[in-house]
Amino acid sequence: MAKRHPSASDSKTLWKRWVMAAPLSALLVILVLWFAVHRVAWLGPFMANTLRTVLGTDNVARLEDTAYAVEDRFNRWWKQGERPKAHWQVPSRNLSDDATGDKPQPKVASEPPMPPFSPADVGPVHKSWSAPGDGQWVPIVDPRFSSADPFMYKTLLHPDRNRSWAELFVVAVDLRRVKLHSVPGYREPKATVTPEPTLKRPGLVPPEHHDVVLAAFNGGFMTEHGRYGMMVKGVTLVPARDRACTIAEYDDGALRIGTWSKLKAREPEMIWYRQAPNCMFEEGRIHPALVNRDSRHWGATLDGDTVIRRSAIGLNPTRDTLYVGITNHTTAHAIATGMRHAGASDVAQLDVNWSYPKFVFFRAPEPGSPLEAVALADGFEYKKGEYLRDRSLRDFFYLTVAQPPAKTAGK
């Protein structure tokens, strides 16, 4: 039988099919990639960094804005009418379980006596649009220090009246007994000073602090996203910017969050500082850009109205309580007002995007076994060796017991 050759009509039909199938195939690829970057922790950063090399930082930022806008529109259609959800039970203070389900043990009074750390409940941001337990502080009990009053409490808030799935998880930390440390990642922030500092950057919690480390959380932006400053152990990696919000520790142990131009006179007294975009709240006053909706840009890469995962750090007016917040699907305005509602008068936004914001506790699965990371809430990506054995490419903060409490007799 003679072999049939494709006719012009056949070729035209195939071309039409290809033209019709191409958009569907492209959409399928996009959906698969979107699903993958939200399930594989390393894939999102890898793709973003690769695209920045090809397309440039600004173009990738615009692409991210567009992608998150599409996701938000889908969520507002798909989840329309959903009520806010709780992530944990909120029992009475003296019966609460900690983040890993461990029961509090009998407490032993410490010497000298100190008023127990017990932040006042703040209630929901929107009373008619909240989940059970919103704004109610739940103690986090570390089994290694069960004889002490809790060092930290957690609460959940829903700060966006238009998005029930916009969640703000806040941890309150007793700075009278807990110390905050800042650690550069082994690569970020990239140093911009010359010659490049010879500072060792293992990107880990130092081994000598493993016995007293309580928790850790993410730091700030990569250098290319705003060139926000960082100094540790007297070594400047990236020089400070005058208008940037700055988290700093002084040689007397005090912490401050404020605009660098207001803090820099005391730079010689600083042990470390890390900078972020403009302060969201400063001395209880909201940043004008968060009030003026015509001023959309917030941070270095993404608009303030972009609905993404964000993180923030704050201090109360007396600076003896630290607040750390991580979110799902929030604008800059939502996380800022939520942190203020929780009790912070000075608030700085830290890193954003799906892969980076996280807050982990450290627990030993068995007595005497190595510590492992445990996430504050479901849905946040982390590794069991996070910050302890798995080196962090980017900078982070960690918390230690400043003065370990006396152990119960016989233990």
Kindly tell me if the per-residue pLDDT of 306 is higher than 80: yes
pLDDT of residue 378: 86
Average pLDDT over residues 286-301: 66
**CA atoms of 71 and 41, how far apart (whole Å):** 18
310 pLDDT more than 70: yes
Residue 116 has pLDDT above 80, yes or no: yes
Rounded to two decimals, what is the model's pTM? 0.80
- pLDDT value at position 178? 98
Give the pLDDT of residue 85: 78
- The reported pLDDT for the residue numbered 19 is 58
- Residue 129 banded pLDDT, cuts 50, 70, 90: confident
**pLDDT class of 84 with cuts at 50, 70, 90:** confident
Each residue of 143-174: pLDDT tens digit?
999 888 999 999 999 999 989 989 999 999 99
Q: Is the pLDDT of residue 102 over 50?
A: no
The top-scoring range by mean pLDDT among 94-98, 143-147, 191-195, 402-406 is 191-195
Q: Is the pLDDT of residue 78 over 80?
A: no
Which residues sit opposite 315 in a β-bridge?
322, 346
Regarding predicted confidence, which is higher, 23 or 349?
349
pLDDT value of position 56: 57
Q: Does the pLDDT of residue 28 top 70, yes or no?
A: no
Mean pLDDT, residues 266-290 taken together: 96
Tokens coding 350: 């830290």
3-state secondary structure the chain: CCCCCCCHHHHHHHHHHHHHHHHHHHHHHHHHHHHHHCCCCCHHHHHHHHHHHHHCHHHHHHHHHHHHHHHHHHHHHHCCCCCCCCCCCCCCHHHCCCCCCCCCCCCCCCCCCCCCCCCCCCCCCCCCCCCCCCCCCEEECCHHHCCCCCCEEEEEECCCCCCCCCEEEEEEEECCCEEEEEECCCCCCCCCCCCCCCCCCCCCCCHHHCCCEEEEEECCCCCCCCCCCEEECCEEEECCCCCCEEEEEECCCCEEEEEHHHHHHHHHHEEEEEEECCCCEECCEECHHHHCCCCCECCCCCECCCCECEEEEEECCCCCEEEEEEEECECHHHHHHHHHHHCCCEEEEEEECCCCCCEEEEECCCCCCCCEEEECCCCCCCCCCECCCECCCCCEEEEEECCCCCCCCCC
Sheet holding 213-218, edge to edge: 178-183, 396-401, 213-218, 359-363, 372-375
Pick from 156, 147, 146, 138: nearest CA to 99: 138
The per-residue pLDDT for 104 is 46
Can you tell me the distance from the alpha carbon of 373 to that of 392, in angstroms, rounded to the nearest whole number? 13
Q: If pLDDT is split at 50, 70 and 90, which confidence band does 304 have? A: low
The larger pLDDT score, comparing residue 166 to residue 22, is at: 166
Query: How sure is the predictor about 13, in pLDDT bands with cuts at 50, 70 and 90?
Result: low
Region 203-213 average pLDDT = 97
Looking at residue 355, its pLDDT comes to 83
The per-residue pLDDT for range 360-398, each reduced to its tens digit, is 999 999 888 999 999 999 888 889 999 999 999 999 999
- Looking at residue 319, what is its pLDDT? 98
Averaged pLDDT, 123-131: 91
Q: What is the pLDDT of residue 188?
A: 97
Pick the range with the lowest mean pLDDT from 33-47, 112-126, 326-340, 349-363.
33-47
* Inter-residue contact 399 to 193 (CB < 8 Å): no
Confidence of residue 268 (pLDDT cuts 50, 70, 90): very high
pLDDT at position 79 is: 67
CA 27 to chain centre: 30
The C-alpha atoms of residue 222 and residue 333 are separated, in whole angstroms, by 22
Q: Per-domain residue ranges for the chain?
A: 12-78, 93-401
Q: Using CA atoms, how far apart are residues 122 and 236, in angstroms rounded to an integer? A: 39
What whole-number percentage of the chain has pLDDT above 90?
57
Distance CA 321, CA 314 (A): 8
